[in-house]
Structure 1
């Protein structure tokens, strides 16, 4: 976990730099591919995923190392061959893991966050899951395990394979000639993120597009069918915590409401979107039918709410980087407490971004928890040893956050209900 936190110290600035380059390029090209709140939601999702991964909050049913020790038939000696086969093996397993996520109700909950953005840009690549409580990925690595490829090699290549999937989340790069036949390109992945019927559940490959062509899931991007992005049953929220779990919550409710015992069990393993007949009739769910008539989620917010939301993100980001750079010193279980608190912080300010009337008391709970942690420990997780008066700065911020959040709820969100409140000017 500590080593992964060190890796993120280098990866995160690189990702943010590419985001800035994409934004600048879009501006120079006169194209709008970024919306403030959508981008902030994507970045916030990236924070939740980074925190979860660093804390190691995913239960591994079977580890790859355990499997290699027991089923390896041969052991390849040549270094270059080991790394080449390992990368191909990871990509092959990634294709099938991705395909399961799109085809099975329960596993879709692990992946829905990544498709939840109604834009397509580098920021949406950072929408990664915190709802995958366990992983079966090692089972899909049986081919490499049979070849005896060491777990250490997989551990080195797996993050690189993941990071290699970042660059093609963009609308600014067109088709790339002969590379379209070899690797996943932005054009291929625009198809994958689209909800047009012809594009749905296509182009599931992660690095090499060959898997889609071999297994019948390839679809070229068509000039006369512009992709429309998102999911068929949108969450209508900026909150990554809500987005991560709303499909799971729907499955739980459907399993509870159906009168069929068989349906209560099979709903989890049926194709994505399947619902029991009796539940579908009694509790219909809205779904996007005409993708070109659909209006994107975009609640009107004042420019001050946009500014304050970005300030909250930056402060939370700073607190996260402090955690990553002081992981060993803070120690367990304090790193777990710290990480979970940060996820709650993200939930809090995204509740405000959604213009929820509950945002004020969520911010109040956050301020009370922060104050308790400082009082109980004597400082903010050793921050005073790094910055003189650091704990006081943290305490003042969270109290100020509550006051400002309550102000937005009273003077902006309630303005539509009660004319005596003067609304703030809206900003798109």
Structure 2
């Protein structure tokens, strides 16, 4: 097939048409069972973020698809891989691995965090929050998947798998499910694991970046289990923005970066404000997640606190 044939096939992808009504239905049902976990204005912002992210993603997605097509064309494995059934199995792991690093670096590079932070800006954990997608992250997202078409994997298969992963991730944004059996909790991303990811408690910061499989967090040292009692997850940001203005929700961290860059004198500091982890400062306390978690661990060891 040539590029025109691929674009036609991509335009016929109906996954979103089935997924969006399902998402809204689940949101409505969850609201009926747990109205206290919702705020109408907050959910309205989440829906606006979904719309904003779809608009921003349109051109990057088309550009990425074209690039994927030509990377696939030059792959020496193209005629070996094709669209065989077993490729879906390998693609599942490749896609999930890519998502893990995309998601993790969205938390560890401040410029990327500025594009992702809107997803974490709600103090509620519900299906509405699942629709509160990061806006700016849509610009750099597809770079993390560019290695896969070089393996000879069909671009249409890649985009389909990315969509399937996002559908799965919608359902981990809830407090109505406690925990699954231990074997499921060990392998898969679950509501319990993802509540940790959305929590602003120090011990939970920048943990559990999984898409479908939590094994990546276990392998790369970013896993944290959900604790009850004193350290029950508290949702939102370490410093909540307290606004329902969707434009501010989508852009506030970019503005904060710009202010930090302007007030710093040295070029190295300016670059650090852009590319180091959120919380780094050239003239104040280091509030990066890894630093705060280390201090908490040292404090608990010194005081022999075990939660």
TM-score range, shorter chain: 0.7 to 0.9
Instruction: For CA contacts below 8 A with separation 6 or more, give which structure has more relative contact order.
Output: 2
Question: Following TM superposition, where does structure 1 have runs of at least 4 consecutive aligned residues deviating by more than 6 angstroms?
Answer: none
Tell me how far apart the structure 1 counterparts of residues 27 and 95 of structure 2 sit (CA, whole Å).
26
Query: In structure 1, which of residues 245, 250, 266 is the aligned counterpart of residue 251 of structure 2?
Result: 245
Change (3 A) 1:191 1:173: same
Aligned to 2:305: none
Pair 1:218-2:241 in alignment: no
TM-score normalised according to structure 1 size: 0.59
Q: Comparing both structures, which one devotes a greater share of its residues to helix? A: 2
Instruction: Find the structure with the greater CA-based Rg.
Output: 1
TM-score normalised according to structure 2 size: 0.81
Aligned to 2:55: 51
Query: In structure 2, which of residues 270, 273, 296 is the aligned counterpart of residue 267 of structure 1?
Result: 273
Pair 1:169-2:177 in alignment: no
Query: In structure 1, which of residues 160, 167, 186 is the aligned counterpart of residue 164 of structure 2?
Result: 160
Tell me how far apart the structure 1 counterparts of residues 143 and 89 of structure 2 sit (CA, whole Å).
18
Question: How is 1:115-126 mapped onto 2 (pairs within 5 angstroms)?
Answer: 115-126=120-131
Deviations 1:379-425 (A, max 9, x none): xxxxxxxxxxxxxxxxxxxxxxxxxxxxxxxxxxxxxxxxxxxxxxx
The offset of 1:95, in angstroms, is 0.1
Aligned to 1:83: 88
RMSD between aligned residues: 2.6
Aligned to 1:147: 151
Change (3 A) 1:136 1:168: closer
Change (3 A) 1:76 1:7: closer
Aligned to 1:187: 192
Aligned to 1:256: 262
Pair 1:19-2:56 in alignment: no
Question: How is 1:1-400 mapped onto 2 (pairs within 5 angstroms)?
Answer: 3=11, 7-26=15-34, 32-53=36-57, 55-56=58-59, 60=63, 63-73=67-77, 75-76=80-81, 79-132=84-137, 134-135=139-140, 137-142=142-147, 144-177=148-181, 178-224=183-229, 225-277=231-283, 280=284
Tell me how far apart the structure 2 counterparts of residues 196 and 139 of structure 1 sit (CA, whole Å).
28
Tell me how far apart the structure 2 counterparts of residues 192 and 133 of structure 1 sit (CA, whole Å).
20
Q: Is the 8 A contact 2:179 2:185 kept in 1?
A: yes
Q: The residue matched to 1:184 in structure 2 has which SS?
A: coil
**What stretches of structure 1 of length at least 5 have no aligned partner?**
282-288, 290-428
Q: The residue matched to 1:198 in structure 2 has which SS?
A: helix
Equivalenced residues, count = 275
Q: Is the 8 A contact 2:83 2:154 kept in 1?
A: no
Deviations 1:344-394 (A, max 9, x none): xxxxxxxxxxxxxxxxxxxxxxxxxxxxxxxxxxxxxxxxxxxxxxxxxxx
